[in-house]
Amino acid sequence: MVALAAEISDGVVFANASLSHMPQSLAALPARKRSDPNFLIANMLPVCISEDLGAAKALLGRRLVHYALLPNYRAYWKEAGYIDEMVAVEKAVAENRPDDIPKYLTDRWLADNTLFGPAAKVRDGVEAWRAAGISTPVLVPNSVAGNQITALQELFAAFAG
């Protein structure tokens, strides 16, 4: 799909991609597309700004369950090196244990596919994604302290000034 995007579109938008796997994903794009400022390279990144890392990880794990239920996402994450995690998710799905899925979205997986923690850590994470070739990180805000409005306020505050 990434190579096809280079042929027929003006960009590619990933969703919940793995930072560690981004070089392999972007290798499907010709170098001229990767360096073209008019070719969009984006990734939708779930974000939770919080000093409470445990709460942030728990929230993101719950929010990403619906993606883990999708076979195409599990196949991608296996390709990205998360075989054990996705096999455990598949077993939970087969055994009708959807409430167990968040525990299989490990800290390592969350750190590679989401951004969470204090504002400075999240800002550093955005820069890591840019360094990996994502010209347009699309930050999808989540909050342990409130609703979507709260999450947006936290995100704006983190990047203000």
Could you write out the DSSP letters of every residue in 3-37?
A: HHHHHHSSEEEEES--GGGHHHHHTTS-HHHHT-T
CATH number assigned to the domain comprising residue 42? 3.20.20.30
CA-nearest of 112, 63, 121, 59 to 85 is 112
Listed in sequence order, the residues at least 6 apart from 92 whose beta carbon sits closer than 8 Å to its beta carbon are 98, 100, 101, 104
Q: Which domain holds residue 30?
A: 2-159
pLDDT at 7: 84
What is the three-class DSSP state of 114? coil
pLDDT at 3: 81
Q: How far apart are CA 153 and CA 151, in angstroms?
A: 5
pLDDT at 19: 99
Q: List the beta bridge partners of residue 12.
A: 41
Q: How far apart are CA 136 and CA 7, in angstroms?
A: 20
Domain count, the chain: 1
Report the chain (161 residues): mean pLDDT per 10 consecutive residues.
85 97 96 95 98 98 98 98 99 98 98 99 99 98 98 98 68
CA-nearest of 23, 27, 19 to 2 is 27
What is the three-class DSSP state of 145? coil
CA-nearest of 111, 112, 105, 93 to 25 is 112
The beta-carbon contacts of 90-99 under 8 Å, at least 24 apart in sequence, are 93/69, 98/65, 98/69
